[in-house]
A = this chain, B = another copy of it.
Amino acid sequence: MSPEQRFEKLGLTLPPSPDPLGVYKLLLIDGNHALVSGHGTLKEDGTWIVGKVGQDLDAETGKLAAQQVGLAILATLKKYLGSLDRVDRVIKLLGMVNCVPDFTRHPYVINGCSELFANVWGDDKGVGVRSAVGVSSLPEGIPVEIEVLFKLN
């Protein structure tokens, strides 16, 4: 099965492709890499999931929020590349969790995005290196922001 077919089979719905919140591009191709800007928790209705993990959201809801970020990234890939099949593999994720100072389960939260990518591109090519950290605030009050580096076919 192709990445497009694998995504189809998941039965998930993509949000609209996001607009930039400032002076930047959402995706840039550099050689055989596609760099994707920090994406947020964009919902199907165009609004954001907001809140701080450990205060407004628990780890499980935070993980779902990270999946929503992954879906927004897929929407960007489809808009700018035409198809998820143009991606050879996930190279790198930087996952930032907007959370309270004593939160410790950032890897669990960011898995919401990483598991989605593993489902789309497979357990090898869908999984890259990653850093997951806690930040004190994010644009629009979103709970998760993730930037990704992909390799293209």
Task: Write the nearest CB–CB distance from A109 to chain B, whole angstroms.
Answer: 9
Whole-angstrom CA separation of A129 from B39 in the bound complex: 11
Whole-angstrom CA separation of A24 from B112 in the bound complex: 12
Known: A28-B91, A35-B92. A136 touches B101 (CB 8 A): yes
Q: Of the candidates B25, B30, B100, B114, which one forms a contact with A137 in the assembled complex, judged by CB atoms under 8 Å apart?
A: B100
Whole-angstrom CA separation of A27 from B131 in the bound complex: 12
Known: A24-B128, A111-B23, A147-B131. A139 touches B104 (CB 8 A): yes
Known: A136-B99, A136-B134, A139-B106. A22 touches B111 (CB 8 A): yes
**What residues of B have a CB within 8 angstroms of the CB of A28 in the complex?**
91-92, 128-129
Tell whether A102 is near chain B: CB-to-CB under 8 Å: yes
Known: A28-B91, A91-B35. A114 touches B22 (CB 8 A): yes
Whole-angstrom CA separation of A142 from B107 in the bound complex: 13
Contact A130 B91 (CB under 8 A): no
Contact B107 A22 (CB under 8 A): yes
Q: Which A residues are closer than 8 A to B by beta carbons?
A: 21-28, 30, 35-38, 52, 91-94, 96-108, 110-111, 114-115, 118, 127-141, 145, 147, 151
Contacts A/B (CB < 8 Å), 6 sampled: A28-B128, A35-B92, A97-B137, A104-B137, A105-B139, A134-B137
| Top 8 A-B pairs, shortest CB-CB distance | A38-B131, A134-B137, A22-B107, A24-B130, A23-B114, A21-B107, A37-B129, A136-B136
